[in-house]
Copies of this chain bind each other. A is one copy, B any other.
Protein backbone atom coordinates (compact mmCIF):
# COMPACT_ATOMS: atom_id res chain seq x y z
CA UNK A 1 0.00 0.00 0.00
CA UNK A 2 1.26 3.43 -0.91
CA UNK A 3 -0.02 6.40 1.00
CA UNK A 4 -3.70 6.14 0.46
CA UNK A 5 -5.88 8.26 2.66
CA UNK A 6 -8.47 5.61 2.88
CA UNK A 7 -7.50 2.10 3.70
CA UNK A 8 -7.86 -0.02 0.61
CA UNK A 9 -9.40 -3.43 0.62
CA UNK A 10 -7.31 -6.44 1.42
CA UNK A 11 -8.00 -10.11 1.35
CA UNK A 12 -7.52 -10.48 5.05
CA UNK A 13 -9.83 -7.58 5.73
CA UNK A 14 -12.74 -9.12 4.14
CA UNK A 15 -12.38 -12.62 5.20
CA UNK A 16 -13.09 -11.30 8.64
CA UNK A 17 -15.96 -8.90 8.44
CA UNK A 18 -19.28 -10.20 7.30
CA UNK A 19 -21.37 -7.96 5.18
CA UNK A 20 -25.03 -8.21 6.10
CA UNK A 21 -26.07 -10.54 3.34
CA UNK A 22 -28.94 -9.40 1.17
CA UNK A 23 -31.29 -11.87 2.71
CA UNK A 24 -34.16 -10.91 0.50
CA UNK A 25 -35.66 -13.81 -1.34
CA UNK A 26 -35.48 -13.02 -4.99
CA UNK A 27 -38.10 -15.67 -5.57
CA UNK A 28 -40.61 -14.24 -3.13
CA UNK A 29 -40.12 -10.87 -4.65
CA UNK A 30 -40.66 -12.04 -8.20
CA UNK A 31 -43.80 -13.82 -7.20
CA UNK A 32 -45.09 -10.78 -5.38
CA UNK A 33 -44.51 -8.60 -8.40
CA UNK A 34 -46.20 -11.07 -10.68
CA UNK A 35 -49.19 -11.30 -8.38
CA UNK A 36 -49.42 -7.55 -8.09
CA UNK A 37 -49.84 -7.44 -11.83
CA UNK A 38 -52.35 -10.25 -11.81
CA UNK A 39 -50.30 -12.39 -14.10
CA UNK A 40 -50.21 -16.15 -14.33
CA UNK A 41 -46.92 -17.93 -14.88
CA UNK A 42 -48.01 -18.45 -18.45
CA UNK A 43 -48.59 -14.74 -19.02
CA UNK A 44 -45.44 -13.72 -17.22
CA UNK A 45 -43.65 -16.18 -19.42
CA UNK A 46 -44.99 -14.50 -22.51
CA UNK A 47 -43.94 -11.12 -21.24
CA UNK A 48 -40.47 -12.10 -20.24
CA UNK A 49 -39.72 -14.72 -22.84
CA UNK A 50 -39.05 -17.33 -20.17
CA UNK A 51 -40.58 -20.74 -19.73
CA UNK A 52 -43.21 -20.95 -17.05
CA UNK A 53 -41.33 -23.82 -15.52
CA UNK A 54 -38.32 -21.57 -15.16
CA UNK A 55 -40.38 -18.89 -13.51
CA UNK A 56 -41.89 -21.41 -11.16
CA UNK A 57 -38.48 -22.63 -10.14
CA UNK A 58 -37.20 -19.12 -9.62
CA UNK A 59 -40.19 -18.19 -7.50
CA UNK A 60 -39.70 -21.26 -5.36
CA UNK A 61 -36.00 -20.62 -4.95
CA UNK A 62 -35.14 -23.86 -6.67
CA UNK A 63 -32.68 -22.22 -9.01
CA UNK A 64 -30.57 -19.10 -9.02
CA UNK A 65 -31.32 -17.23 -12.24
CA UNK A 66 -28.53 -15.87 -14.37
CA UNK A 67 -28.14 -12.16 -14.87
CA UNK A 68 -29.41 -12.62 -18.41
CA UNK A 69 -32.61 -14.06 -17.04
CA UNK A 70 -32.91 -11.30 -14.49
CA UNK A 71 -32.68 -8.80 -17.31
CA UNK A 72 -35.44 -10.52 -19.18
CA UNK A 73 -37.52 -10.57 -16.03
CA UNK A 74 -37.07 -6.90 -15.35
CA UNK A 75 -37.68 -5.91 -18.94
CA UNK A 76 -40.75 -8.08 -19.24
CA UNK A 77 -42.30 -6.94 -15.99
CA UNK A 78 -41.29 -3.40 -16.73
CA UNK A 79 -39.32 -2.83 -13.57
CA UNK A 80 -35.73 -2.17 -12.68
CA UNK A 81 -33.52 -5.09 -11.81
CA UNK A 82 -32.91 -4.05 -8.20
CA UNK A 83 -36.62 -4.35 -7.58
CA UNK A 84 -36.25 -8.07 -8.11
CA UNK A 85 -34.41 -8.50 -4.85
CA UNK A 86 -35.03 -5.29 -2.93
CA UNK A 87 -37.92 -4.93 -0.58
CA UNK A 88 -40.17 -2.09 -1.68
CA UNK A 89 -39.29 0.07 1.30
CA UNK A 90 -42.50 0.20 3.20
CA UNK A 91 -44.14 3.56 3.24
CA UNK A 92 -42.83 5.28 6.27
CA UNK A 93 -46.43 6.30 6.88
CA UNK A 94 -45.76 9.28 9.03
CA UNK A 95 -49.46 9.78 9.28
CA UNK A 96 -48.96 13.52 9.37
CA UNK A 97 -50.17 16.47 7.44
CA UNK A 98 -49.52 20.18 7.31
CA UNK A 99 -51.85 22.82 5.97
CA UNK A 100 -50.65 26.25 4.95
CA UNK A 101 -53.25 28.92 4.47
CA UNK A 102 -52.73 31.34 1.62
CA UNK A 103 -50.08 33.90 2.55
CA UNK A 104 -49.29 32.21 5.84
CA UNK A 105 -46.15 30.43 4.67
CA UNK A 106 -42.68 31.32 5.84
CA UNK A 107 -41.31 34.28 3.86
CA UNK A 108 -37.84 34.23 2.36
CA UNK A 109 -36.61 37.20 0.38
CA UNK A 110 -33.92 37.54 -2.26
CA UNK A 111 -33.26 40.31 -4.77
CA UNK A 112 -34.90 38.31 -7.50
CA UNK A 113 -37.58 36.38 -5.69
CA UNK A 114 -40.01 36.73 -2.86
CA UNK A 115 -40.51 33.20 -1.63
CA UNK A 116 -43.21 31.85 0.60
CA UNK A 117 -42.21 28.45 1.89
CA UNK A 118 -45.15 26.09 2.29
CA UNK A 119 -45.63 23.12 4.58
CA UNK A 120 -42.68 23.99 6.75
CA UNK A 121 -44.03 22.08 9.72
CA UNK A 122 -43.07 18.74 8.24
CA UNK A 123 -39.32 18.33 8.33
CA UNK A 124 -38.61 14.98 6.75
CA UNK A 125 -40.59 15.45 3.60
CA UNK A 126 -39.53 14.42 0.11
CA UNK A 127 -40.76 17.52 -1.65
CA UNK A 128 -40.29 21.19 -0.91
CA UNK A 129 -43.14 23.37 -2.10
CA UNK A 130 -43.00 27.14 -2.21
CA UNK A 131 -44.74 30.00 -3.91
CA UNK A 132 -42.67 32.84 -5.30
CA UNK A 133 -43.13 36.27 -6.69
CA UNK A 134 -40.63 36.75 -9.47
CA UNK A 135 -38.98 40.17 -9.46
CA UNK A 136 -36.33 39.41 -12.04
CA UNK A 137 -36.88 41.00 -15.40
CA UNK A 138 -33.81 39.77 -17.22
CA UNK A 139 -31.36 36.92 -17.13
CA UNK A 140 -28.68 39.26 -15.88
CA UNK A 141 -30.56 39.84 -12.66
CA UNK A 142 -29.28 36.43 -11.68
CA UNK A 143 -25.71 36.71 -12.88
CA UNK A 144 -25.55 33.03 -13.66
CA UNK A 145 -27.56 29.86 -13.96
CA UNK A 146 -29.25 28.51 -10.90
CA UNK A 147 -28.26 24.92 -10.45
CA UNK A 148 -28.77 22.35 -7.71
CA UNK A 149 -29.50 18.73 -6.93
CA UNK A 150 -32.89 17.25 -7.62
CA UNK A 151 -35.82 17.80 -9.86
CA UNK A 152 -38.12 20.77 -10.08
CA UNK A 153 -41.71 21.33 -11.06
CA UNK A 154 -43.24 24.74 -11.57
CA UNK A 155 -46.66 26.08 -12.36
CA UNK A 156 -47.43 29.65 -13.32
CA UNK A 157 -50.14 31.06 -11.04
CA UNK A 158 -50.16 34.69 -12.13
CA UNK A 159 -48.51 36.79 -14.81
CA UNK A 160 -46.23 35.79 -17.62
CA UNK A 161 -42.72 34.47 -17.39
CA UNK A 162 -39.91 33.28 -19.53
CA UNK A 163 -38.21 30.05 -18.53
CA UNK A 164 -34.55 29.86 -19.41
CA UNK A 165 -32.94 26.46 -19.21
CA UNK A 166 -29.55 25.41 -20.36
CA UNK A 167 -29.54 23.56 -23.69
CA UNK A 168 -33.03 24.81 -24.55
CA UNK A 169 -34.49 27.92 -26.07
CA UNK A 170 -36.14 30.31 -23.62
CA UNK A 171 -39.83 29.57 -23.43
CA UNK A 172 -42.72 31.82 -22.58
CA UNK A 173 -45.11 30.49 -19.96
CA UNK A 174 -48.46 31.93 -18.97
CA UNK A 175 -51.00 31.13 -16.28
CA UNK A 176 -51.65 27.41 -16.04
CA UNK A 177 -48.52 26.38 -17.92
CA UNK A 178 -46.11 24.11 -16.12
CA UNK A 179 -42.60 22.74 -16.49
CA UNK A 180 -40.61 19.87 -15.06
CA UNK A 181 -36.84 19.70 -15.27
CA UNK A 182 -33.63 18.36 -13.88
CA UNK A 183 -32.45 21.08 -11.54
CA UNK A 184 -28.81 20.31 -12.23
CA UNK A 185 -29.44 21.83 -15.60
CA UNK A 186 -29.01 25.58 -15.30
CA UNK A 187 -32.37 27.30 -14.95
CA UNK A 188 -33.80 30.74 -14.36
CA UNK A 189 -37.22 32.33 -14.52
CA UNK A 190 -37.93 35.96 -15.27
CA UNK A 191 -41.19 37.88 -15.33
CA UNK A 192 -42.14 39.35 -18.68
CA UNK A 193 -45.39 41.02 -17.69
CA UNK A 194 -45.69 44.43 -16.08
CA UNK A 195 -46.40 43.09 -12.62
CA UNK A 196 -44.43 40.42 -10.83
CA UNK A 197 -45.32 36.88 -11.78
CA UNK A 198 -46.43 34.34 -9.21
CA UNK A 199 -45.09 30.81 -9.43
CA UNK A 200 -45.66 27.62 -7.55
CA UNK A 201 -42.54 25.54 -7.19
CA UNK A 202 -42.01 22.04 -5.96
CA UNK A 203 -38.52 20.64 -5.60
CA UNK A 204 -37.34 17.23 -4.56
CA UNK A 205 -35.20 17.25 -1.44
Q: Tell me, rounded to whole Å, the shortest Cβ–Cβ distance linking A4 to chain B.
A: 9
Tell whether, in the assembled complex, residue B46 and residue A178 are in contact, meaning their CB atoms are under 8 Å apart. Answer: no
Tell whether, in the assembled complex, residue B185 and residue A97 are in contact, meaning their CB atoms are under 8 Å apart. Answer: yes
Q: Is A127 an interface residue (CB 8 A)?
A: yes
Inter-chain contacts of A66 with B (CB < 8 A) = 64-67
Which residue of chain B lies nearest to A130 when distances are taken between CB atoms in the complex? Answer: B178
Q: Tell me, rounded to whole Å, the shortest Cβ–Cβ distance linking A104 to chain B.
A: 9
Q: Is A111 an interface residue (CB 8 A)?
A: no
Q: Which 6 interchain pairs have the tightest Cβ spacing?
A: A102-B176, A97-B181, A119-B180, A93-B184, A64-B68, A64-B66
Instruction: Write out, one digit per residue, whether chain A residues 81-112 have a CB within 8 A of any chain B CB (1) or not (0).
Output: 11001100001111111111111000000000
Instruction: Write out, one digit per residue, whether chain A residues 42-72 have a CB within 8 A of any chain B CB (1) or not (0).
Output: 0100110000000000000000111111110
Tell whether, in the assembled complex, residue A97 and residue B165 are in contact, meaning their CB atoms are under 8 Å apart. Answer: yes
Instruction: Write out, one digit per residue, whether chain A residues 121-143 have a CB within 8 A of any chain B CB (1) or not (0).
Output: 01001110101000000000000
Copies in the complex: 2
Tell whether, in the assembled complex, residue B177 and residue A78 are in contact, meaning their CB atoms are under 8 Å apart. Answer: no
Which residue of chain B lies nearest to A149 when distances are taken between CB atoms in the complex? Answer: B91
Which residue of chain B lies nearest to A26 when distances are taken between CB atoms in the complex? Answer: B67
Tell whether, in the assembled complex, residue A180 and residue B118 are in contact, meaning their CB atoms are under 8 Å apart. Answer: yes
Using C-beta atoms within 8 Å of the partner chain, give the interface range for chain A.
Answer: 35 or more
Residue numbers of A with Cβ under 8 A of B are 8-9, 11, 14-15, 18-19, 21-22, 26, 37-39, 43, 46-47, 64-71, 74-78, 80-82, 85-86, 91-103, 118-119, 122, 125-127, 129, 131, 149-151, 153, 155, 157, 163, 165-168, 171, 173-185, 200, 202, 204
Inter-chain contacts of A21 with B (CB < 8 A) = 71, 75
Tell whether, in the assembled complex, residue B102 and residue A177 are in contact, meaning their CB atoms are under 8 Å apart. Answer: yes
Looking at the complex, which one of B70, B93, B99, B167 makes contact with A173 (CB distance below 8 Å)? B99
